[in-house]
Amino acid sequence: MVNKFIRRFYTFLIFGFLYAPIAVLAVFSFNDSKSTAKWEGFTLDWYQSLFSNNYIMKSLYYTVLVALIASVVATIIGTFAAFGLFYMKSWKQKAILNVNSIPILNPDIVTGVSLMTLFVALNVNLGLLTMIIAHVTFCIPYVVLSVLPKLKQMPGEMLEAALDLGATPWYAFKKVIFPEIKPGIITGALIAFTLSIDDFVISFFTTGNGVSNLSIAIYSMARRGIKPEINALSTLMFLTVLVLMLILNKRTKIEEI
Amino acid sequence: MKKIFAVVLLVVLMASLFTGCSNSDQVVLNVYNWGDYIDEDIFQQFEEETGIKINYETYATNEEMYTKINKGGTQYDIAIPSEYMIEKMIKEDLLEPIDLTKIPNYANIDDQFKNLSFDPNNQYSVPYFWGTVGIIYNTNLIDGPIDSWDVLWDEQYARQFTMVDSQRDSIMVALKKLGYSMNTKNLDELEEAKQALIEQKPLVLAYVGDNVKDMLISEEASMAVVWSGEASAVIQEYDYFEYALPKEGSNMWFDNIVIPKGAKNIDAAHQFIDFLSRGDIGFLNADYVGYATCNIETMKLIDPALIGTTYAYPDKNLLENFEIFQDPGDFIVEYDRIWTELKAK
């Protein structure tokens, strides 16, 4: 009895900590005042002004565009890299895996500044292209790390068996290996997408000339105070993700049946 | 197969993205500004009048903007730094000179904001907004007369007020209270200011940055050292707040329009500066941002109720002891040290 209560209470606490800030943020997106401290009445004005704010909408567009391109490109490169790594000799594999994890451990600011220095040294103008390249760069190691364990879980002889039975290497990859490692690839792509949407530091150093993502746009409003428009935007983004997750969950359930 | 198709599609998509903006011969002006510091609707008007398109990007601090311009790889045609940063950028040759003959509306700028110490002759910058640093207080909670920095050392207001989490502004408060210049390079005066700040520290509720407005509105703090722009934003929504300009003097700040080195469209940049200096455009910006304009023609359009208020357009004789920050050069390390020592106490 007590045990059950404690368990419930613990779960409640965890979800409380996770979701209370989001709930407060969502509530204040309907606040009829610029303040995020005092409730002044209900309004939808902030949603309206959000959609008429060109700068925020443009930043949202760049954020989503960069995240989509970067996660797709990083997933493709990362998957093939993991595939290659898997069939390497073990000491070589170890060495390359170590090299792969350095960018993960490296502080973002070091990655950001070094990428910026590289782009400037190569005389590339900072902008959308450099930001996408930077995002692809820091996403690849995560994809490799999420695909590799799936390859290791796979029975070792499967590829050979497929080849023995007459499959071409490409066909074997497509029909035998790919379905086995698909969950790893999807996880990798999701991690890459989230990391890209989240990123501020690396984006800040590698973009320029009028291209900025949401985190940069929001941060730059700090001096004048962050407007509830941002609350409205965050609420909408949260709802979108929530709905997407629900749909995904439903679909996997149907597939399982 | 599907994957290859996706990759091809992606490459085409990416390629079309990058050509889309470069193959027209329309001039595109890269504007780099503080976040939320301009009425973005004027961009369209500018485009209609001149055919020049605005590509807009924002920053949060002077230092961020400085890093971006200093490191290269960017071509900003317009930026709006504060006075001490302009001084630094002039010293480091990061600004293009401005040809004032190409900016007829420069005549609209109030003479008192021209030829200031950070840019004598306005060779590199044209004034945009200005303001002060002072004390905002909640008249429901604080009734004593507030007109001096001394109140921030007064026991009766202990733990009711906040200071700014900005090294030069906080040290400025102590220096001004002691009657010294806020640009002092005298180590003894600085040490004295440090002692005063250490003495004050137990009374301070917090050293805060951007959340000061929310702390005031929610009555967590009843008094705060703030920039006039923040004060104006609070007072216009909650009229029981008041903003005081300390009699010992304080900081007067300026944000001026400049053309960074490396700008590609210098002529268009001049056109844009001229456009911003127009009375009606200045009014749209001042109305949107809520800061004090440097433009005489704009002043004529502004709500007369604002004129004479401490937070927007204060009476000139209230500003007698006010100073403008100068770039301390290498002496900045002493300010850094004192600030670190204070924060560590």
B86-121 pLDDT per residue, tens:
998 999 999 999 998 988 988 888 888 888 888 888
pLDDT for B23: 45
On whether any CB of chain B is under 8 Å from the CB of A68, the answer is no
For chain B, state the CA radius of gyration.
22
Which DSSP letter does residue B224 get? E
pLDDT for B21: 47
On whether any CB of chain B is under 8 Å from the CB of A129, the answer is yes
pLDDT for A256: 56
Which DSSP letter does residue A173 get? I
**Residue B56 and residue B33 in contact, taking contact as beta carbons nearer than 8 Å:** yes
HSE on the CB side for A238, CA within 13 Å? 16
**Residue A142 and residue A180 in contact, taking contact as beta carbons nearer than 8 Å:** no
**Where does residue B280 rank: exposed (0-12), middle (13-18), buried (19+ CB within 10 A)?**
exposed
A159-170 pLDDT, tens digit per residue, is 888 888 888 888
Q: What is this model's ipTM?
A: 0.73
Could you tell me the CATH superfamily of domain B27-130+253-314? Periplasmic binding protein-like II (3.40.190.10)
pLDDT for A189: 87
Position A156 in a domain: yes
Which of the pair, B23 or B263, is modelled with greater confidence? Answer: B263
Q: List CB contacts (< 8 A) between B64 and chain A.
A: 204
Q: Which residue has the tokens 């704009």?
A: B298
A134-184 pLDDT, tens digit per residue, is 999 999 999 999 888 888 888 878 888 888 888 888 888 888 888 888 888
Position A192 in a domain: yes
What's the total number of domains in chain A? 1
Asked if residue B213 has pLDDT above 60, the reply is: yes
Average pLDDT value for residue range A205-223: 81
pTM comes to 0.79
Average pLDDT value for residue range A116-132: 87
CA distances from B305 to B108, B242, B319 (A): 21, 15, 19
Asked if residue B6 has pLDDT above 80, the reply is: no
Given an 8 Å threshold on Cβ–Cβ distance, is A216 in contact with B58?
A: yes
Asked if residue B258 has pLDDT above 90, the reply is: yes
> Which structural domain range is residue A86 located in?
47-226
Position A85 in a domain: yes
Q: Give the span between the Cα atoms of B222 and B234, in whole angstroms.
A: 13
CA distances from B198 to B169, B338, B339 (A): 15, 10, 10
Q: List CB contacts (< 8 A) between A216 and chain B.
A: 58
Position A16 in a domain: no
Q: List CB contacts (< 8 A) between B58 and chain A.
A: 55, 212, 216-217, 220-221
CATH of the structural domain B132-251+318-344, one choice from 3.30.390.50, 3.90.105.10, 3.40.190.10, 3.40.50.300: 3.40.190.10
Average pLDDT value for residue range A27-56: 81
Q: Give the span between the Cα atoms of B227 and B250, in whole angstroms.
A: 11
Distance from CA of A166 to the nearest CA of B (A): 19
On whether any CB of chain A is under 8 Å from the CB of B20, the answer is no
Distance from CA of A73 to the nearest CA of B (A): 8
pLDDT for A155: 82
B219-249 pLDDT, tens digit per residue, is 888 999 998 888 888 888 888 999 999 988 8
- Round the average pLDDT of chain A to a whole number and report it: 85
B243-255 pLDDT, tens digit per residue, is 999 988 898 999 9
Q: List CB contacts (< 8 A) between A208 and chain B.
A: 57, 68, 73-74, 76
Which of the pair, A253 or B66, is modelled with greater confidence? Answer: B66
pLDDT for A133: 92
Identity of residue A257: I
Q: Which residue has the tokens 């530091």?
A: A201
Position A241 in a domain: no
pLDDT for B313: 86
pLDDT for B19: 44
Q: List CB contacts (< 8 A) between A54 and chain B.
A: 40
Nearest partner of B18 among A67, A211, A58, A114, judged by Cα:
A211
Asked if residue B72 has pLDDT above 80, the reply is: no
Given an 8 Å threshold on Cβ–Cβ distance, is A72 in contact with B10?
A: yes
- Round the average pLDDT of chain B to a whole number and report it: 85
Diameter of chain B by CA atoms?
78
Residues B102/B107/B113/B115 CA torsion (nearest 10 deg):
50
Measured between its terminal Cα atoms, the distance across chain B in Å is 65
pLDDT for B159: 87
Which of the pair, A10 or B290, is modelled with greater confidence? Answer: A10
The CATH number of residue A153's host domain is 1.10.3720.10
Average pLDDT value for residue range A176-197: 86
Comparing alpha-carbon positions, the chain B residue that sits nearest to A229 is: B36
pLDDT for A162: 85
Q: What is the DSSP code string of B245-314?
A: --TT--EEEEEEEEEETT-S-HHHHHHHHHHHTSHHHHHHHHHHH-SEE-BHHHHHHS-GGGBT-SSSB-
pLDDT for B80: 92
Q: Where are the alpha helices (DSSP H) in A166-222?
A: 169-172, 178-198, 201-206, 214-220
Average pLDDT value for residue range B145-165: 88
Residues of chain B with CATH 3.40.190.10: 27-130+253-314, 132-251+318-344
| Own/partner pairs, A237-241, CB within 8 angstroms, 24+ separation | A238/A22, A238/A26
Question: What is the DSSP pairing of strand B78-79 with strand B28-34?
Answer: parallel
Tokens representing residue B244 in the block: 């005081």
pLDDT for A49: 83
